[in-house]
Amino acid sequence: MSNFRSFLPACLACVLSACSLIPTYERPNAPIDSRWPYQCSCGNDSELRSTDKGWQGFFTDKTLHELIATALVHNRDWRVAVLNVEQARAQLGIRRADQFPSISAALTGSRTPDNDGAIKSAYAGGLTVTAYELDFVGRVASLKEQALAQYLASQEGSTTARISLITTVAQAWLNLLADEELLAISKQTLSSREASLKLMELKLQHGAASELEVQVAQTLLQSARVTVAALQRQRLQDENALVLLLGQALPETARAALTKGQLDTLHFADLPVGLPSEVLTSRPDIRQAEQLLIASNANIGAARAAFFPRISLTAGVGSASSELSQLFKDGSWGWTLAPQLLLPIFDAGRNQANLDMANTSKNIAVAQYEKAIQTAFREVSDALAGRETLSQQLQASEALLQSESKRSHLTQLRFDHGASSLLDSLDAQRSLFAAQQSLIQTRLAVLQNRIAFFKVLGGGV
């Protein structure tokens, strides 16, 4: 009762002005630093124009274009995200409809016996309005605002899902290209080690090699077979993952592109980076978290309105007659008006509990919004750290491969002329194989970082 008395002055003001009880929304301050932890170079105007074109401007490879476009049509998770938006839109339509009276056509008839046993007939027909709430304190309007914010949040969620699908398809395609290149060099290494083992066995027969040298060659051969088998399995699993993303079988054009080994020829735009506040507001997941916060804020208005009287109106206009044939003739018309006022007096604390729950839900939404910002800041910082270091790692990997190639060549020449042992030659081959694998994996990491950077900056879609 004391809660109601405290709201009484506000109730009178709301009746006069049809005000809203939704608290004034204020965007929480971003709990992050104003600068990135790494120095980054911003892009030029051409790069900005490239990103403005969306994912088509960032991913320039034709095969990748085809794969992404296919996934955006056939991927089932993306379909669910789109349908979730439609569902939220329908819910918004329901809440908007609650602000208007529902008018229905009604026709009733009854036949009852009177005290004399005669049958008495009564018929009525017309238009009715049933329990329409006069929203003086904005309860229905608050629920509509909540539904609107949830609809906008679902739209941002679908954008996040779209960006995630695009980048996941691109990453899966890069994994498949890397698998092909790793498998190709592994098969070449396997063939080379098979030839080395045959040569060692032949030398053993003529006393030019020891049993130890043969066993070393045998060990390296089996190691290459293990690597090939593992890569074949990984190649098939990565293709299955890509097929699931696409929602259908891998196109023949993509299969043809796999044999060309395009990993070292793929290039993506070098995206510009602005201030954290500029970058984070472009991310749909942060906008989604803010819309959910706005929805929770609007729900407080609906919870507050429950403390005030609710006025509902039931009305009708039509005709009544004891004869069905005379129902809509002159002189039988009439109308009814039945307003109803519900004033909360005692509810065992239910309304207060609902308001407390609404306030707590808003506090949760604030924490989730701040966590979304912090997570986004960490993701961009990680991508920046990768961009700064992976380029150096790639240069080092290329230099290492050149060095190992020269070493392997020189060691083989020394071995052919009897100036080096077989163990030295096999060790050089093993190091060369490891350097080749490392370079492919580093190239993959560089490209994956570019894609991750595209994603964490908002995706450009």
Instruction: Of 136-145, 277-286, 416-425, give the range with the top mean pLDDT.
Output: 136-145
Indicate if 259 and 118 belong to the same structural domain.
no
Indicate if 251 and 160 belong to the same structural domain.
yes
In 3D space, the residue among 304, 306, 301, 299 whose CA is nearest the CA of residue 345 turns out to be: 306
Indicate if 290 and 366 belong to the same structural domain.
yes
**Residue 73 lies inside a defined structural domain of this protein:** yes
The angle formed by the CA atoms of residues 412, 414 and 416, to the nearest 5 degrees, is: 70
pLDDT digits (tens, 9 = 90+) for 373-403: 999 988 888 888 888 789 899 999 999 999 9
Take residue 189 and report the two structure tokens written for it. 């290494």
Instruction: Of 103-107, 201-205, 249-253, give the range with the top mean pLDDT.
Output: 249-253
Find the range with the poorest average confidence among 340-349, 369-378, 441-450: 340-349
The boundaries of the domain holding residue 239 are 20-99+137-308+351-456
pLDDT digits (tens, 9 = 90+) for 230-276: 999 999 999 999 999 999 999 998 888 888 767 888 888 777 776 77
**Residue 13 lies inside a defined structural domain of this protein:** no
Indicate if 198 and 212 belong to the same structural domain.
yes
Please tell me the total number of residues recorded for the chain in this structure.
461
**Residue 146 lies inside a defined structural domain of this protein:** yes
What pTM was computed for the model?
0.83
pLDDT digits (tens, 9 = 90+) for 159-199: 999 999 999 999 999 999 999 999 999 999 999 889 888 98
Query: The domain spanning residue 333 has which CATH number?
Result: 2.20.200.10
**Residue 15 lies inside a defined structural domain of this protein:** no
**Residue 443 lies inside a defined structural domain of this protein:** yes
Q: What is d(CA 82, CA 162) in angstroms, rounded to the nearest whole number?
A: 9
Query: The domain spanning residue 427 has which CATH number?
Result: 1.20.1600.10
Answer yes or no: are the C-beta atoms of 415 and 318 closer than 8 Å: no
Residue 185 burial (CB count, 10 A): 18
The count of structural domains within the chain is 2
> Identity (one letter) of the amino acid at 43?
G
**Which residues make Cβ contacts (< 8 Å) with residue 160, sequence separation at least 6?**
284, 285, 288
Indicate if 300 and 328 belong to the same structural domain.
no
Take residue 403 and report the two structure tokens written for it. 């060095």
